[in-house]
Amino acid sequence: MYFEFVVHITEDPHSKKRVSDKFAEFLAGREPAEVHLREASCGFCHWPVEVLFEGQGSMYLNRGFDKFSREHNLEVECLLHLFYEADAEMNIKVFDESSCRRHYHDDDSGDDSGNNDGRL
């Protein structure tokens, strides 16, 4: 069971971020209190992020996202590609304002997905 979506940063990159309403629907009945963001090219880089639900269908990456944002130099116009696999784990790729992917770690394996099936 997986789900993928993008978040376009259009304002303060360090504030909480609303995620796709369809993703919130997908999680209905099993809403996690926290997710772990994992860089797609780094198997050991995890950031715990509190999940906040406000009203029906509104889901935000909240406390902890600011730390991820600062450590990855997120800016307005960045795109985040998120891939939820289950168990509150989310692979994340960051794209800059020119739509080019940012790489934060070297990956000698050639697999930038963090998984072996090539989906992300």
Rounded mean pLDDT of the chain? 85
Q: What CATH number has the domain bearing residue 71?
A: 2.40.330.10
Considering the domain boundaries, does residue 118 fall inside one?
Answer: no
Provide the domain count of the chain: 1
Residue 114 domain flag: no
Cross-strand bridge partners of residue 7:
80
> What sign does the dihedral 66-96-51-10 (CA atoms) show?
positive
Instruction: pLDDT band for 103, please (50, 70, 90 cuts).
Output: confident
pLDDT in tens, 73-89: 999 999 999 999 888 89
110 CB neighbour count, 10 Å cutoff? 5
Region for residue 69 given its phi and psi (left: phi exceeds 0; alpha: psi -120 to 50; beta: otherwise): alpha
Residue 101: inside a domain: no
Give the whole-angstrom CA distance, residue 23 versus residue 105.
Answer: 28
| Domain that residue 14 falls in | 3-95
pLDDT in tens, 34-88: 999 998 877 778 899 999 998 777 999 999 999 999 999 999 999 999 999 888 8
Residue 87 lies in a domain: yes
Domain for residue 65, yes or no? yes
Whether residue 112 has pLDDT greater than 60:
no
Asked, for residue 51, whether it belongs to a domain, the answer is yes
